[in-house]
Every structure is written in structure tokens, then in C-alpha cells.
Chain A
Amino acid sequence: MKKSRLNIFLLMGIVFSLILASGVSAQAAFPEKEITLIIQAAPGGVSDAVGRTMAASAEKILGVPIVPTNITGAAGAIAMGELKESPPDGYTIGYVPVELAMVKALGYADISPEDFDLIMRVNIVPAALTVRADAPYQTFEEFVEYAKEHPGEILVGTSGTGSIWHIAGLALEEVIGAKFTYVPFDGAAPSVAALMGGHIHAVTCSPTEVLSGVEGGDLKILAVLGEKRSPLFPEVPTAQELGFDINVMAWGGFALPKGTPEEVYDTIASAFWEALETETFQKIMEERGIEVSPLDGPAFREFAMQQFEMYMDLIPRALEQQ
């Protein structure tokens, strides 16, 4: 009898200490172990550069390592799917690109900005209309005129059907009332190479991607298709300034799985914001030609949903035309 009572006491003691321990760990300050940062693109591109630089800057503030992991495939849908399914405890963060607002319309995966707790937008990459320097049109207006007179003749290279730069071309076509023929390539760089080689007539990718060609005198940017001029080419006007209502840009930011506790969300958001403002982060972004244009969580959510609705309308029409 005595022995069994002792056992019960022991058992109760263990149970109590377990409850206490778990209570303590629930109250312990986040973070207490390393954080994984999922990057949806291969090492080397803009997404990877922003993700890794942020990880390096924010881990000093949070005091735990942030380990970047590149999970590629399906225009980022696999990585974003993984983030969506991760436990919402703050230990898995993801970089989310413009494709967050696109993959559902493309039919790759059932993912929308609503599936995440968005932390912040970091950068934007505007589209720009670039042509060969020896083209018969030297200004945006001349291009518009030429395009209207020659429907279907202008070959516009894109970074793939349904990609953000293809959408930029479609939006341009709609706003100027012309008809292009689209030539999809496997990414922006091959389309720029094809433009420099004279195989196509125009591209609608970002100014960064055509920088070398423009500086070398082979290419010419006619207009930026985003909301403001590019810091790389301050002399190039935006299409909006010329009276055409168009605003297409790629962007990127960070997100957490839906349902992350508020304290955890706040800790991460303030650490990331602080990291963004460090001199090192700003300097690396500037050297890489990445335009930092931050929005906080709520503003990013509103922006992303707006984009999501726009693409849900544009992309199905775009795919139909092909």
C-alpha cells in the first residue's frame, strides 16, 4: 500500500513538473532556436539576394541563426505551399514574390495572399519597354505609332508565358491599343540576349536586366512601365507620365504561415524592419540595383490582394490568347 502511494506521489510530481516546464516554455521569449527562411528561387537571383541579406542582418537582431533554404520549382508554388503548411510558430519564414498573387490564376496551386500572415514588402522591380538602339522608333510615342501600324509584327520577348514580364507586355498592348507577337523564353536573360542578337524586337523586363545592353549602346529603354522612374535610368520617362495608364512591377517581401501568435509576429516584424534600415542592408541592395520600397504588414496585405485580383482577371485572358 505504502509503496503504491509513493508511486502516485512520484507520478503527480512528474506530471506537475511537466506542466510547469511547458508553461515556462510557452512564456519563454521567442525566438529560442534557429529559424528557417524558405526562398522560392535558386541561389543567385534577386529573391535569393534579398532573402539572404535579410537573414544575415536580422539574425544579429533576433539573436538566433536564420538559415536560408532554397526550395525551387513551379514558379515558387512548391516553396509557398511548404510555407503554408508549416507550423505557425515563427520558426519558418518565407520570401514571397509577385508569383504569390499569380500562381492561382496560372493554375499551379491553390495559393493566395490570404493564406499567410504577411510581414512586409521589401523591394519592387518595375517593368520597362526596351528595344534595339537601331530600331525605326526612337521614342515611346513613335513606338506606339509603329505598333499600331504594324499589328502582330513586333516580336516581344518574355521570360515565359504567364510570367510577370509577359503580363507587362499584355498590359502595354491593351493600353496603347496594339497587337504584339509574344516569344516566350526561359527567363529574362535569354530574352535580352535574343534582343541583342536581333532575333526579336522588344522586351518588357526590368531595367536591371537590360542595364549592360543599354550602357553598351546596343539597346534603348523607351519607357518604364511602373509607377515611378527607375533610379538606374532617371532620364527615362514612365508610360504614366506620357499619358498611358499602366503599372506593372514585380515585387518581393516576407510572410509567415497563417495563424502565427501576435507576439511572435510582432517580434519578427520589428526585427525585419530594423534590419531593413541598417546601412549594410541598404548598401547591398543598392550595389545589386534592387529598388527597396517597403510596406508594413497591413499595407502589404492590401497591396498583395489588389495585385491578386488584377492577375486573376488578366492571366486567364493572357493564356487564352496564346
Chain B
Amino acid sequence: MEALLVAFQQVLQPQVLLYLILGTVLGLAVGTLPGLTATMAVAILTPLTFWLPPESGLGVLIGVWNASIFAGGISAVLLNIPGTPASIASTFDGHPLVKKDQAGLALGINVLYSAIGGLFGILIFLIAAFPLARFALSFGPAEYFALGLFGLSMMIAVSGTSVVKGLIAGFIGLALSLVGLDPMLATPRFNLGSTQLITGLSFIPLMIGIFGLGEVFYQMVTTLGQPQEQTKPQGERKGFSSLGRMLVNAKEFVQTLPATIIGSVTGVVIGAIPGSGADIASLIGWEFSRRTSKRKEEYGKGSIEGLAATCTANNSCLGGALTTMMALGIPGDAVTAVLIGSFMMYGVQPGPAMFRDKSDFVFMVIGLMILANLFFLATGFIFSRFAGGFILLPKPIMWSTILILSLVGSFSLNNRLFDVWVAFLGGILGFLFRRYQFPLGPIILALILGPIVERNFRTALIISHGNPAIFLTRPISLIFILGTALALASPLFLRKKRGQKE
């Protein structure tokens, strides 16, 4: 408690608050726009903040980071286009809620539960930084492989109506993830002799294409030739102009409580593990809460529990990532890798020595993280309501805006025109998937987890000198592999049981 007071003393100054607000506002914009990522924003702002005192400079960076991960959920919910990869899983239940005319509630859950997750992550950092960081290090290649495999077993859960179609989509994703350098031999694979393809298809442009362009193409084709009435905004058609209530009621809050806890814990642990970030945290958080939920069948069709789990997981991930970075000097995700650089610019080297010699600095960062969460909680409702007005716009305006944002976003990521073509390829895939009712979840899952599974499977075998027992003799790895086996086998048992009953 005393520690917290020290923390707040340092950051509760008008100048620091001003910079934190500036960061939060920037973060809202960066997060909402697809193609602009938290990592990119923090990296570009880092040299600019060098001239500010540490608490103000880090105020901007931490503000941007927290707000953009939250704001990515807004586009995921409203448009079915994740604003940042962290909110991919929020499209699973967030967008179906919008289709059920509960846009306000979905946006409100995103604000409230992002803040709950974010604050939970910081709380864990405050009370258990070192044990958590040590646990995170026990994750070796075998554990990563098992975690990735467990994640891939979700393909079935996100397949929607047809498991076969889901698996086809998943395998297309796996095939696309094979393009690029072989992770072990570093030789180019399937690059068709092109230098542009040596490091593979960039994930974010592909994601923007599949979700953003694909959706626009599909809506344009299906609406074409239909009466004018259809192209009018939803609001006018139904005669409402608001989004409906945003706050969850007491009953819903109790209902989502288990999902909130599972999402928060999963997020903070996965965040702490080096090399896995908020995108994986929210996917796994969603799956954990689905498996333990009493209302499994609602997941993927607009479950408020599912949305709550993903929103808490991707924000509590921040606290976890910060824990490993600050306690051991090892980045927990891409943003903290950049933040190490800015810590060093302020003459602070992260690691155990920092907690001993520069504890003021540690508490200052904690204070900034807490305030950043409170800031976006306060402004998030207003901003979401404002952003929510977007779906009430006439469709042609909406389409052209999404098109422009998607193209600019995919280019600006690496400043490569080639990535715009990747986005187009994704757009065509996304269109075909929607047209023939293939689910999008499995392909995205495969693109994120496929490379992790492949790389770590092979790395683990190098480490064990070729002995596959490494996957079963390490406890964490064994648990995930059993979890995967259970997920794949349980439908068979259920069917048998049902058969016996009949």
C-alpha cells in the first residue's frame, strides 16, 4: 500500500498527467485504425520522448500502449476488423453481438473488461513480479510447442457450423504460414524466387485483407442490385440512432465473473512468457474460458463471457509482459522489447538490479500503468460511443473508409507496396471464405500459431538430441498435450455416449 502511495506521488503531477492524456488519445487512434500497431507507435515515439523527463516520456509511451490495445477491440467489435492483432479473438463474440443489435453492450464490455484486465495485470506485477518471471522462463521450446498445439486444437471450436470447412480453412492458413524462411535452416521456402517473399507473407497485411477488405468486398457484392432501402444504415432502417446500453447489469457481471478471472490470469501468464504477446493471450484466454463455461454453445455466436475473456486477457497481458521485462531484462512481447530501449535512454537497465537500486523508477512505471488504465476507462466509453456512430453511416461511405484505411494501413506497416498486394490476396481469400461460408477463425489461428508450433517442435528436438520424449517428460508440456488430446477425443466419446442412450 505504501509502495502505491510512493508511486502515485511521483506521477500525480499536472505535466505528467498531460503527457499521459496525450499518449492515451494517440493510443485510441492507433488502436482503432487497422495497420497501426502499438509496437510501431511506441517505437516511433521513443526517440521523440527522449527530450522529456522520464515520468513524462514514459507517460506518453505507456498511455499509447495501454489505450491502443484496448482501442483495437473497438474496430474488432464494430467492423469485424481487429485494430491490432491483440484483438483478433474479440471478433469471435464481439461482432456477433453487434449483429444482434447489442453494439453498445459489446463496446461497453470492451472498455470495462479491458481496464479490469489491465489493472489485474499490474496487481500481479506488484505482488509477484519475481515468481511470475521465473515461472515464465521455465517455458522452453517443448512448452511453446505444446501451448501452440493446444491453441491449434481450438480450430474446431471456432469452426462454426461445419468442422470440415473449418479444418480446410485452418490448413490453408498453415500452408500460407509455410511461405518464407525455414525457421531452422534459414533457407527460403515457397518464395517463387522472389526476394519480397523471403521472409514470408507479412501477417498484419494478410489479417487486414482477410478481415477488412474481405468484408467490404462481400458486402458490396451481396448488396449490389438490391433495393436502395437495403443500403441505408442499420439505424435508419430500424428507426434508432443510439447503440443501446453500454454497461453490463449485475446479472451479466456475475455471469461473466469466471471468464473475467480466467482471462485475466491467462493474459498475465502468457504475457510474461517471452515471445508470446496479447494476440496469443486473448486466443488462449477465450479457449480456456469456453472449456470451463456452462454456456459453451454460445461462444462464437455473441457470448458476453467470450468477449469478456478476450478483453481481459489482452490487457492483463501488458502487466505480464512488463513483469518479465522489468524483473529479468527479457522482453515479454514486442512492445516491451522497444520499451527496454527507452528505459536505457533514461539510464535505467531493467533487471533485478533495477528493483534494488532504482525502486523509485519501478514504482513510477507501476503508477503510470495504473493511471493509463483509469484514463482509458474514463475516456473509452465516450470514444466508443463516438466511434460506434460509424456503423450508423451509409454503407458506401463506410466501405470506402475501410478500403482506404486498410490499404494505407497495410502499406505503412513496412513501407512496402508488396504488402498492399498481400492485403489484396487476403481480401480475395476473405471474400471467398464469406461467400462459401468458411469460418475465418481457423485460418487466423493457423497463421499465428502455425509458425510457433513448427519452430518449437524442431527446436525442442534439437535440444533433446532427437528424443521425442521431451514433450511428455516436462510437466507443463504434458498438461497441454493431454488438454489437446482431450479436445480432439471428446467429441468421439460424446457421440458414443449419445449413441448408447438411443
Contact surface of A with B, Cβ cutoff 8 Å: 42-45, 48-49, 52-53, 56, 69-75, 77-78, 81, 106-109, 152, 155, 160-163, 181-186, 189-190, 192-194, 196-200, 211-213, 215-218, 284, 287-289, 319, 322
Contact = CB atoms under 8 A, between A and B. Distances in A.
B347 to A, nearest CB: 6
A216 B463 contact: no
Contacts of A198: 137
A73 B337 contact: no
A71 B185 contact: no
A74 B414 CA distance: 12
A56 B459 contact: no
Contacts of B329: 211-213, 215-216
B40 interface: yes
B107 to A, nearest CB: 30
Contacts of A53: 47
A245 B183 CA distance: 31
Contacts of B39: 42-44
A290 to B, nearest CB: 10
A235 B351 CA distance: 20
A155 B39 CA distance: 32
Contacts of A190: 274-275
Given A73-B199, A288-B345, A184 B330 contact: no
Contacts of A106: 186
A216 B462 CA distance: 28
A169 to B, nearest CB: 14
Interface in B323-375: 328-331, 337-338, 341, 344-347, 349-353
Given A53-B47, A181-B465, A212-B328, A189 B351 contact: no
Kindly list the 10 A-B residue pairs having the minimum CB-CB distance in the complex, ordered from nearest. Answer: A212-B329, A43-B43, A212-B351, A197-B137, A44-B338, A199-B140, A161-B186, A74-B198, A216-B352, A193-B274
A75 B415 CA distance: 16
19 contacts: A42-B39, A43-B44, A44-B338, A49-B47, A52-B47, A73-B199, A73-B202, A81-B195, A155-B463, A181-B465, A184-B186, A189-B274, A193-B275, A211-B329, A212-B329, A212-B330, A213-B330, A216-B328, A217-B352
Contacts of B352: 215-217
Interface of B: 39-40, 42-44, 46-47, 50, 137-141, 183-188, 195-196, 198-199, 202, 274-275, 328-331, 337-338, 341, 344-347, 349-353, 414-416, 455, 459, 462-463, 465
A322 to B, nearest CB: 5
A284 B195 contact: no
A199 B46 CA distance: 33
Nearest to B324: A193
Given A163-B186, A211-B351, A288-B345, 11 more contacts: A44-B338, A73-B198, A75-B198, A78-B195, A152-B465, A182-B462, A197-B139, A200-B463, A215-B349, A288-B341, A319-B187
Given A49-B341, A107-B188, A196 B459 contact: no
Most buried by A among B47, B50, B186: B186
A265 B185 CA distance: 39
Contacts of A284: 50, 345
A19 B139 CA distance: 69
Contacts of B196: 73-74, 78
A53 to B, nearest CB: 7
A43 B140 contact: no
B352 to A, nearest CB: 4
Contacts of A211: 329, 349, 351
Contact of B140 (A72, A73, A194): A194
A33 to B, nearest CB: 19
A73 B185 contact: no
Most B CB contacts (10 A, CB to CB) among A155, A163, A185 go to: A185
B341 A108 contact: no
A70 B459 contact: no
A199 B141 CA distance: 8
B84 to A, nearest CB: 15
A197 B140 contact: yes
Contacts of A107: 187-188
B353 A215 contact: yes
Contacts of A42: 39, 43
Given A56-B47, A161-B185, A70 B415 contact: yes
Contacts of A73: 196, 198-199, 202, 414, 416
B46 A77 contact: no
Contacts of A155: 462-463
A307 to B, nearest CB: 19
A22 to B, nearest CB: 30
Nearest to B346: A287
A200 B137 CA distance: 12
A189 B44 contact: no
Given A189-B330, A197-B137, A108 B195 contact: yes
Contact of B186 (A43, A160, A194, A200): A160
Given A44-B337, A107-B187, A216 B344 contact: no
A182 B459 CA distance: 10
A152 B196 CA distance: 36
A213 B328 contact: yes
A69 B195 CA distance: 19
A136 to B, nearest CB: 18
A1 B154 CA distance: 86
A109 B195 contact: yes
A287 B43 CA distance: 17
A53 B47 CA distance: 8
A183 B462 contact: yes
A205 to B, nearest CB: 13
A107 B210 CA distance: 32
A284 B345 CA distance: 7
B459 A183 contact: yes
Contact of B463 (A69, A160, A163, A199): A199
B345 to A, nearest CB: 5
Given A161-B184, A161-B186, A287-B347, A185 B330 contact: no
Contacts of A212: 328-330, 349-351, 353
A163 B199 CA distance: 14
Given A43-B44, A186-B275, A217-B352, A196 B330 contact: yes
Nearest to A196: B137
A319 B137 contact: no
B202 to A, nearest CB: 8
A74 B187 CA distance: 11
A181 B462 CA distance: 8
Given A181-B465, A189-B337, A196-B137, A215 B188 contact: no
Contacts of A160: 186
A43 B40 contact: yes
A215 B459 CA distance: 28
Contacts of B415: 69-71
B330 A193 contact: yes
Nearest to A185: B459
Contacts of A185: 459
